Amino acid sequence: MSKEKHENNPGKTPNPVGGELHQISGGEHPMLTTNQGVALSDNQNSLRANPHGPTLLEDFILREKITSFDHERIPERIVHARATGVHGFFELTTSLEQYTTARILTEVGEKTPVFTRISTVAGGAGSVDTPRDVRGFAVKFYTKEGNWDLVGNNIPVFFIQDAIKFPDLVHAVKMEPDRGFPQSATAHDTFWDYISLTPEAMHMVMWIMSDRTLPRSLRMIEGFGVHSFRLINEKGNSTFVKFHWRPKLGLQSTIWDETVKIAGADPDFHRRDMFDAIAMGNYPEWEFAVQLFTQDEAEKFPFDHLDATKLIPEELVPLQVIGRMVLNRWPDNFFAETEQVAYCPGNIVPGIDFSNDPLLQGRLFSYIDTQLSRLGSPNFHQIPINAPKCPFGNHQRDGHMQMSQPKGRVAYEPNSLSENSPRETPAEGFRSAVVSEDGEKGRIRAESFADHYSQARQFYLSQTAYEQAHIASALVFELSKVEHLHVREAMVGHLRHIEEELAKRVAAGLAFNKLPDAPVAAVPVKEMKPSPALQLIGKMKDTLIGRAIGILIADGSDGAVIMNIRKAATNAGAAVKIVAPKVGGAKLADGSMLAVDGQLAGTPSVLFDAVAVILSDEGAQALSRESAAIDFVRDAFGHLKAIAADKGGRALLKSANVGQDAGVVEANDKDAFITVAKTRQWDREKSVRTLA
């Protein structure tokens, strides 16, 4: 094999297989090796027969590197593929010792490590963060007694009552198989066709058409365990429980038009928001609450709590806050942790057990079966992100990807040949709830599951007028994307059972000449008292903590006004970003240069909760000819955000035909701006868009 001569160039090392290795200055670095620990002399060139010859099959370094790359991707989740995962801890503040033996729910003050994964449902791993969609809310507690996975959503109910319907639901909501679109959207025929033929989904439809599915931030969503579970105490008595997560920052949503534009401006908007908050030490926090009730109490409810399309109103069974969760550490590696983490509702600990909810019962099988497919091995629990942090051991020794090294002669129990092999522990081990079951076996649904409209009606009537308008408008938008008239008509027919006025609003938005007939309801619709706890606007907090303020400037802007607003907003808890036409900064009126955080075209107002516009006369004149600046202020006004403006700023507002109302204030009045910036200007909406 021939060799080429290499000149002794400074900073370069001759390479016997061609090319040059550049030495890296700046101190010692770990040795680069193969997976077998063999040090690499050259990571830039394949082994060739000669400088222009074929690559040799014997190049084990090339083969190992390419093989690893070829297998980097594992099958993505069928649902919940797009996610953000964060480490943190759970701290119990109130003991439930009278209800359960689970140590995580009895040992006050203990901080239990958790890994929380929040996800969209319908889209693939490469979809955007902000579609109208349910958000998965899954928490893995690494408890002293084993892992407990609380796998829920940001909505307390679900589309279906029985897990056997789940494949059909997902097939209907995913992109249509003959065309491969739409991605991460419900606005298409197959979804609404399925829903129109599934009356039990009507309660969930009200939730997904509400602002709950357009969250401002993952830090501002609630989480629900959805199903009823059981707690078991020392005496073996069980109590039903529903689990809730409530964000310390309160709830906050976006507006549909804003959401669409955020997806274009920053597809990673929610993930970036979470990353930035943790990097700045603004750790997201949730209260952990429970609803506790007995079998006798459940029998008096006007619905069946085992029906996953129903919730228990807080007015009926109040929430008890018993702990908190703080997320404070970003994963070291997205794939190893956020992608490989495996949640299974069947992962529970002693003192917690399941109910007979038929959707939950199916999930107990489905999730572990899915992880076997995704992660390729029954040993997926040994992956570090999935492994318990307490001691664990059994006799399940073999299988694909066995990552531990079991020792000893026996791999069975009971045995008499080993004194230190794992044994069952009747006194401390897991015990199921003692429940008597009787009746005739059959494929039949309980009559108590037959009411499909009462809670859907309660939810709609519990909303503010603004939220009701958003629900109606969302239905019009979604159904306008449906090609088949009979599907649109069927959906409006269902709405008549929920609220006649809602059906009329949607029918008018779809240009129907008359209201379609309502389908026959299995049982009469009950009148349930409105529940303010079901609102989103009612759960927004009067605060700027966790929010973001954008300040638009240009050359000649008044630095004192900018600094006053930035200081006031920062003191109020907001993150503040300066936006200018050029990313290099802007020269202020006093001649100084101010660094900026974003360039105008790439940092639109949709990324902020409120904006200030501080411009000189010349700056306003220049930006009045810039469409990005016009859009910046026009969108801020149209998305109901507070705006502070000085003389130049108001000139830009005028150029953009932006109106004046109580949410547009003088830039010099920083206190007024901080006050109005804490909320949306809801009364403005009727003047900027037509709602159903």
- In tens, the pLDDT along 606-660 reads 999 999 999 999 999 999 999 999 999 999 999 999 999 999 999 999 999 999 9
CA dihedral defined by 389, 392, 398, 401, rounded to 10 degrees? 0
Strand ranges (DSSP E) for 121-215?
Answer: 135-143, 146-153
> Does position 400 have pLDDT exceeding 60, yes or no?
yes
Residue 618 lies in a domain: yes
DSSP letter at 377 equals S
Residue 362 lies in a domain: yes
Which residue pairs, CB below 8 angstroms and at least 24 apart, start in 659-664?
A: 659/687, 661/687, 664/637
For 602, the domain range is: 544-688
Considering the domain architecture, whether residues 21 and 137 belong to the same structural domain is answered as no
Residue 30 lies in a domain: yes
Tokens for 286, please give them. 């949730």
Query: CA–CA separation, 351 vs 358, rounded Å?
Result: 21
Helix axes 358-375, 166-173, angle to 10 degrees: 60
Considering the domain architecture, whether residues 672 and 584 belong to the same structural domain is answered as yes
> Does position 4 have pLDDT exceeding 50, yes or no?
no
- Among 305, 171, 136, which Cα is nearest to 230's? 305
pLDDT band at 444 (very low <50, low <70, confident <90, very high): confident
Out of 365, 382, 399, a domain closes at: 382
DSSP letter at 219 equals G
Average pLDDT over residues 41-67: 92
CA atoms within 13 A on the CB side of 572: 24
- Per the document, the length of the chain is 692
pLDDT band at 395 (very low <50, low <70, confident <90, very high): confident
Query: CA–CA separation, 82 vs 270, rounded Å?
Result: 11
- Active-site residue, 153 included: yes
pLDDT at 635: 98
Residues with Cβ within 8 Å of 273's Cβ and at least 6 positions away in sequence, in order, are: 217, 218, 219
Residue 322 lies in a domain: yes
- Among 332, 115, 126, 101, which Cα is nearest to 235's? 101
570-602 b/e (C-beta count within 10 Å ≥ 16 → b): eebebbbbbbbbeeeebebeeeeebebebebbe
Query: CA–CA separation, 545 vs 326, rounded Å?
Result: 16
- Of the candidates 45, 80, 470, 494, the residue annotated as catalytic is 80
> Does position 22 have pLDDT exceeding 50, yes or no?
no
pLDDT band at 169 (very low <50, low <70, confident <90, very high): very high
Query: CA–CA separation, 198 vs 194, rounded Å?
Result: 6
Considering the domain architecture, whether residues 208 and 108 belong to the same structural domain is answered as yes
Considering the domain architecture, whether residues 106 and 24 belong to the same structural domain is answered as no
Q: How many H helices and E strands in the chain? A: 19, 20
Residues with Cβ within 8 Å of 291's Cβ and at least 6 positions away in sequence, in order, are: 241, 242, 244, 312, 314, 317, 318, 319, 320
Residue 525 lies in a domain: no
Average pLDDT over residues 481-498: 98
Could you give the C-alpha distances from 328 to 85, 114, 117, 305, 338, in angstroms and in order? 11, 10, 13, 35, 15
Domains identified in the chain, total number: 3
Collapsing DSSP to helix, strand or coil, 298 comes out as helix
Residue 160 burial (CB < 10 Å; 0-12/13-18/19+)? buried
Tokens for 101, please give them. 């033996």
Considering the domain architecture, whether residues 361 and 289 belong to the same structural domain is answered as yes
pLDDT in tens, 333-391: 999 999 999 999 999 999 999 999 999 999 999 999 999 999 999 999 999 999 999 98
Out of 355, 382, 409, a domain closes at: 382
Ramachandran angles phi, psi of 551, nearest 5° = -115, 115
pLDDT at 27: 64
Residue 48 lies in a domain: yes
Query: CA–CA separation, 327 vs 111, rounded Å?
Result: 12
- Among 639, 652, 650, 649, which Cα is nearest to 679's? 639
- Distance between start and end Cα atoms, the chain: 78
Residue 553 lies in a domain: yes
Considering the domain architecture, whether residues 249 and 348 belong to the same structural domain is answered as yes
Q: What is the mean pLDDT of the chain?
A: 94
Considering the domain architecture, whether residues 217 and 361 belong to the same structural domain is answered as yes
pLDDT band at 467 (very low <50, low <70, confident <90, very high): very high
Q: What percent of the chain stands above pLDDT 70?
A: 96
> Does position 100 have pLDDT exceeding 70, yes or no?
yes
Could you give the C-alpha distances from 261 to 198, 208, 254, 257, 390, in angstroms and in order? 32, 19, 11, 6, 46
DSSP 242-267: EEEEEETT---B--HHHHHHHHHH-T
Largest distance between two CA atoms of the chain: 91
Which residue pairs, CB below 8 angstroms and at least 24 apart, start in 372-379?
A: 373/75, 374/74, 374/75, 374/76, 374/77, 374/342, 375/74, 375/340, 375/342, 376/74, 376/400, 376/401, 377/401, 379/403
Percentages helix, strand, coil for the chain (3-state, rounded to 5) are: 30, 15, 50
pLDDT at 291: 98
CATH number at residue 18: 4.10.91.20
> Does position 508 have pLDDT exceeding 80, yes or no?
yes
CATH number at residue 326: 2.40.180.10
CB atoms within 10 A of CB 456: 28
> Does position 272 have pLDDT exceeding 50, yes or no?
yes
pLDDT at 424: 87
pLDDT at 172: 97
More confident: 175 or 440: 175
Tokens for 151, please give them. 């796998």
Residue 278 lies in a domain: yes
pLDDT at 446: 93
CB atoms within 10 A of CB 41: 12
Considering the domain architecture, whether residues 292 and 166 belong to the same structural domain is answered as yes
- Of the candidates 45, 87, 147, 153, the residue annotated as catalytic is 153
Considering the domain architecture, whether residues 40 and 161 belong to the same structural domain is answered as no
Considering the domain architecture, whether residues 4 and 138 belong to the same structural domain is answered as no
CATH number at residue 623: 3.40.50.880
- Among 411, 400, 350, 355, which Cα is nearest to 378's? 400
DSSP 494-519: HHHHH-HHHHHHHHHHTT-SSPPPPP
- The residue type of 672 is A
Q: What percent of the chain stands above pLDDT 90?
A: 87
Considering the domain architecture, whether residues 251 and 226 belong to the same structural domain is answered as yes
Radius of gyration of the chain (CA): 29
Tokens for 211, please give them. 């602002």
CB atoms within 10 A of CB 194: 20
Considering the domain architecture, whether residues 147 and 13 belong to the same structural domain is answered as no
Query: CA–CA separation, 192 vs 231, rounded Å?
Result: 38
Out of 362, 382, 402, a domain closes at: 382
- Active-site residue, 571 included: no
DSSP letter at 317 equals S
pLDDT in tens, 213-252: 999 999 999 999 999 999 999 999 999 999 999 999 999 9
CA dihedral defined by 311, 534, 199, 361, rounded to 10 degrees? -30
pLDDT at 10: 38
DSSP letter at 319 equals -
